[in-house]
Chains A and B, each alone.
Chain A
Amino acid sequence: DQQVKQNSPSLSVQEGRISILNCDYTNSMFDYFLWYKKYPAEGPTFLISISSIKDKNEDGRFTVFLNKSAKHLSLHIVPSQPGDSAVYFCAASSGRDDKIIFGKGTRLHILP
């Protein structure tokens, strides 16, 4: 039973437009959420996170929104750039020191 779900295996977005990656979770105990980015033949790298006490966190072109009542979070990338083409993993944790549960990932293609 998947606790973190990324229902879109892939997404294509025109360069310069907004990319929106979605993630749903089922465990109400999760209180910390993260996004990781992964290029081929490399390990995932941390991108941005959000605590459950917030509903938005912004870092440059990247913004994560959290809707606790819907158990849903999204990652917005504005504007999208060619280097953003990668696999994005949504992840969640039920404590700052606990393990992370990852989704299956969404492959983002930025089109020229």
Chain B
Amino acid sequence: DAGVIQSPRHEVTEMGQEVTLRCKPISGHDYLFWYRQTMMRGLELLIYFNNNVPIDDSGMPEDRFSAKMPNASFSTLKIQPSEPRDSAVYFCASTKGEIEAQHFGDGTRLSIL
């Protein structure tokens, strides 16, 4: 059974470029979460969806960040324009409503030069 799939695994790009991170949740899961991990702030929630609808985006750092979930099997996190301080590991997680059962993908390591 496939887990949460994130792509790309690594992304290196120059400041100012648009970055798109992708996530395919586990089939049948109705919650999807985007997290960011940095040394300074640890693992912080950016936004989460329930049944494809954004529920809480209070963790999104600023307007340069946006997330969409056009259907139950796909979500994107976009940064435009990207800045060096956006460098981090971004995780996607999904669950069928039970908090402890959040399944995480292996993350996207993003480096903005």
> Looking across the interface, which residue of chain B has its beta carbon closest to that of A45?
B104
Instruction: Spot the interface stretch: A13-21, A67-75, A76-84, A98-106.
Output: A98-106
Task: Tell me the dominant secondary structure on chain A's binding face.
Answer: loop
Most buried by B among A43, A45, A89, A96: A43
B56 within 8 A of A: yes
A43 touches B107 (CB 8 A): yes
B43 touches A34 (CB 8 A): no
> Looking across the interface, which residue of chain B has its beta carbon closest to that of A5?
B42
> Looking across the interface, which residue of chain B has its beta carbon closest to that of A49?
B100
Instruction: Spot the interface stretch: B12-20, B65-73, B78-86, B91-99.
Output: B91-99
Chain B interface size band reads: 20 to 34
A29-65 CB mask vs B (1 if < 8 Å, else 0) is 0001010000001111110010000000000000000
- Which of B's residues lie within 8 Å of A, judged by CB? 4, 33, 35, 41-45, 48, 56, 91, 93, 97-107
Interface CB pairs A-B, < 8 A, 23: A32-B99, A34-B99, A34-B100, A42-B106, A42-B107, A43-B104, A43-B105, A43-B107, A44-B43, A46-B102, A49-B100, A89-B42, A89-B43, A98-B99, A99-B48, A100-B45, A101-B45, A102-B42, A102-B43, A102-B44, A103-B42, A104-B41, A104-B43
